């Protein structure tokens, strides 16, 4: 584990991707055959292979485990956390400073860590929480501060931000001298980076079998602005379909058994029993990409209806009847033993249409082909915009425009899939509180809580931390520090002077904020130094947007 900790530090300390790849490749190459799969899994930031399920060790369990190993009190934790902005770094400090209770340190190997994590994932029933805590404490007892730091980061998933799977793919290609595209494809088929590492080492990448029952990563889309020049579209054929406002999911059937996976790659089959029932017994094995929608009489219901289902892991009969769901299928990634992601969309779509699986709960997303002659002229622009309006009239969010020749590229946001949406509106909000960020932003005030006006009061409506540049954040940090009204830990209540323009997807009723509303996916568009707080948007405007 020491080498892994040192690798993580070295990777964190270099900005160069090439150098990161070189470091990880060197680390992977140096491993004993039996440890390669674990090393690759850890390097992708995961504590366990995807198929092993969730580890379920939370922050409070980690703290309790740490308290078994080293002495500290609450204020030590708060101070250490303030210094680092992440729990891994904080714990490393506590381990450094606090008296060690254990006298014996067996060197901690990654094999020991992996088998302990696997054991923790298997704990169930009453007492499971304590058992996991004890297992984690056992690891900490043998860990150096550096090792403890990265044990925590593995468990919290924090490492996954710096250690993208794509980096490990390139590192495996470099370590074993294989084409990166072969490693990537094998990973998509098998879903298990540890297994792929072994295939790469043994020169058996093409033999990666499709791991039905494990999720394949999702392909992403790039935004195109409605009303713009559509310069992103190139000469060629595109498939144009509605952009549905539901939640992304992957449907699989293997030997008649259905699986549904969420965008975060969790198995969510149990939450959507009507879709699972519709797929059960299907005679073809396949993997389809699509969107889960609240659906009635051939039409999507508003996202708000779907939300009542999302909060329930296992819906009861009443909820199933009041909010029926369907899976809107728009892509086919595998059929029987054929992995199709390298095949062009045109072919995947043709094969999807022929799938013997469609029903009211598993619907084929309708769409049409469009030949684009770039640059897009007025005629095509108005054609696209009228398709867009038709999609909106059908209750959908906008359009998806997908290049016919493109392969399915999981995890990529490229020039193959475009989403055409129109921002509903933006709101000018007043920043009323700010917080220190995490990771790289742990010493700047980057998380803003903002409010709208109601008479002479300001009522909070949301929180956002993306959108401003580092320079803007740094400048505003200075301002906020000088205009702090009160402070609670990492959160500062500030004078309500700064106005920010906020974009969002929809406005929803919510008990979370004082206004009674929340913005879904809020993003800071820009600072509005030209506006004073008295010109900020009002609660009435928010209320009106909520009716859309």
CB of 112 to ligand AMP, least distance (A): 39
Nearer to ligand AMP, 59 or 369 (CB): 369
Burial class of residue 510, CB neighbours in 10 A (0-12, 13-18, 19+): middle
88 closest CA partner among 40, 154, 44: 154
Tokens found for residue 206: 């093409």
CB of 399 to ligand AMP, least distance (A): 8
Separation between Cα atoms, residue 445 and residue 433, nearest integer Å: 10
Percent helix, strand, coil in the chain, to 5, is: 40, 25, 35
DSSP at 106 = P
E-assigned strands of 439-533? 445-454, 457-464, 484-488, 491-494, 499-503, 507-509, 517-519, 523-527
CB of 365 to ligand AMP, least distance (A): 5
In sequence order, the 6+-apart residues with CB closer than 8 A to the CB of 17 are 167
Nearer to ligand AMP, 99 or 298 (CB): 298
521: left (phi over 0), alpha (psi -120 to 50) or beta: left
3-state secondary structure 316-383: CHHHHHHCCEEEEEEEEEEECCEECCCCCHHHHHHHHHCCCCCECCEEECCEEEEEECCCCCHHHHHH
CB of 249 to ligand AMP, least distance (A): 8
Nearer to ligand AMP, 230 or 480 (CB): 230
Contact positions with ligand AMP (CB under 6 A) in 205-224: 221
Residue sitting closest to ligand AMP (CB): 248
Contact positions with ligand AMP (CB under 6 A) in 293-352: 330
Integer angstrom CA distances of residue 377 from 22, 229, 381, 391, 420: 46, 9, 6, 21, 17
CB of 330 to ligand AMP, least distance (A): 4
Nearer to ligand AMP, 64 or 265 (CB): 265
Spell out, one character per residue from 349 to 388, where the chain touches ligand AMP: x when CB under 6 A holds, - when not. ----------------x-----------------------
CB of 291 to ligand AMP, least distance (A): 5
Question: Binding of ligand AMP at residue 406 (CB under 6 A)?
Answer: no
Nearer to ligand AMP, 440 or 520 (CB): 520
Q: Are 427 and 437 in contact (CB under 8 A)?
A: no
Cα 124-130-136 angle, rounded to 5 deg: 100
Burial class of residue 16, CB neighbours in 10 A (0-12, 13-18, 19+): exposed
Contact positions with ligand AMP (CB under 6 A) in 134-163: none
CB of 220 to ligand AMP, least distance (A): 6
Contact positions with ligand AMP (CB under 6 A) in 42-61: none
Q: Which positions are annotated as active-site residues?
A: 243
Nearer to ligand AMP, 132 or 243 (CB): 243
Nearer to ligand AMP, 418 or 450 (CB): 418
Integer angstrom CA distances of residue 211 from 4, 181, 232, 338, 453: 28, 18, 35, 11, 53
Contact positions with ligand AMP (CB under 6 A) in 221-260: 221, 241, 243-244, 248
Separation between Cα atoms, residue 247 and residue 232, nearest integer Å: 26
Nearer to ligand AMP, 339 or 408 (CB): 408
Question: Binding of ligand AMP at residue 419 (CB under 6 A)?
Answer: yes
Question: Binding of ligand AMP at residue 291 (CB under 6 A)?
Answer: yes
CB of 11 to ligand AMP, least distance (A): 28
**Judged by CB under 6 A, how many residues of this single chain contact ligand AMP?**
10
The sign of the CA dihedral 445, 446, 447, 451 is positive
The gap between the terminal CA atoms of the chain, to the nearest Å, is 54
Mapping DSSP to helix (H, G, I), strand (E, B) and coil, where does residue 431 land? strand
Instruction: Name the residues that contact ligand AMP, by CB under 6 A.
Output: 221, 241, 243-244, 248, 291, 330, 365, 400, 419
């Amino acid at each position: 584990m020491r080498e892994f900790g040192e690798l993580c530090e070295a990777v964190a300390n270099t900005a160069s991707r090439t150098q990161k790849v070189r470091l990880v490749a060197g680390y992977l190459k140096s491993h004993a055959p039996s440890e390669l799969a674990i090393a690759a899994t850890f390097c992708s930031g995961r504590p366990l292979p995807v198929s092993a399920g969730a580890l379920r060790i939370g922050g409070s369990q980690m703290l309790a485990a740490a308290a078994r190993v080293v002495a500290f009190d609450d204020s030590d934790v708060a101070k250490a956390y303030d210094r680092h902005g992440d729990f891994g770094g904080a714990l490393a400090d506590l381990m450094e400073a606090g008296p060690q209770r254990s006298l014996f340190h067996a060197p901690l190997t990654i094999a020991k860590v992996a088998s302990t994590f696997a054991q923790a994932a298997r704990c169930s029933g009453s007492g499971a929480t304590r058992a996991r805590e004890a297992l984690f404490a056992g690891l900490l007892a043998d860990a150096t501060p550096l090792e403890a730091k990265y044990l925590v980061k593995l468990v919290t998933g924090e490492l996954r931000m710096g250690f993208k799977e794509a980096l490990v793919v390139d590192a495996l290609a470099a370590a074993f001298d294989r084409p990166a595209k072969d490693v990537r494809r094998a990973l998509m088929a098998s879903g298990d980076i540890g297994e792929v590492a072994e295939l790469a080492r043994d020169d058996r990448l093409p033999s990666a079998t499709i791991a039905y029952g494990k999720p394949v990563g999702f392909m992403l889309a790039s935004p195109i602005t409605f009303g713009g020049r559509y310069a992103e579209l190139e000469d060629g054929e595109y498939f144009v379909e509605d952009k549905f406002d539901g939640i992304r999911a992957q449907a699989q059937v293997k030997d008649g058994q259905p699986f549904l996976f969420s965008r975060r790659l969790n198995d969510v089959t149990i939450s959507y029993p009507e879709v699972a029932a519709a797929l059960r017994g299907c005679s073809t094995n396949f993997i389809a990409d699509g969107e889960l929608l609240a659906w009635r009489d051939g039409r999507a219901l508003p996202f708000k209806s779907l939300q009542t289902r999302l909060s329930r892991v296992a819906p009861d009969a009443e909820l199933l009847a009041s909010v029926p769901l369907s899976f809107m299928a728009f892509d086919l990634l595998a059929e029987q033993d054929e992995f199709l992601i390298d095949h062009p969309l045109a072919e995947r779509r043709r094969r999807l249409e022929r799938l013997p699986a469609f029903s009211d709960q598993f619907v084929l997303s309708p769409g049409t082909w469009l030949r684009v002659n770039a640059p897009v002229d007025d005629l095509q622009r108005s054609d696209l915009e009228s398709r867009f309006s038709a999609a909106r009239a059908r209750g959908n969010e906008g359009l998806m425009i997908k290049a016919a020749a493109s392969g399915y590229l999981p995890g990529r946001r490229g020039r193959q899939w475009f989403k055409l949406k129109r921002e509903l509106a933006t709101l000018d909000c007043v920043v009323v509180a700010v917080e220190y960020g995490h990771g790289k932003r742990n010493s700047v005030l980057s998380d803003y809580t903002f409010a709208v006006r109601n008479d002479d009061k300001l009522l909070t409506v949301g929180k956002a931390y993306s959108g401003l540049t580092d320079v803007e954040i740094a400048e505003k940090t200075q301002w906020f520090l000088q205009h702090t009204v009160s402070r609670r830990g990492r959160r500062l209540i500030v004078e309500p002077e700064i106005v920010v323009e906020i974009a969002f997807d929809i406005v929803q009723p919510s008990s979370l904020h004082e206004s009674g509303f929340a913005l879904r996916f809020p993003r800071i568009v820009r600072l509005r130094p030209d506006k004073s707080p008295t010109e900020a948007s009002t609660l009435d405007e928010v209320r009106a947007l909520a009716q859309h």
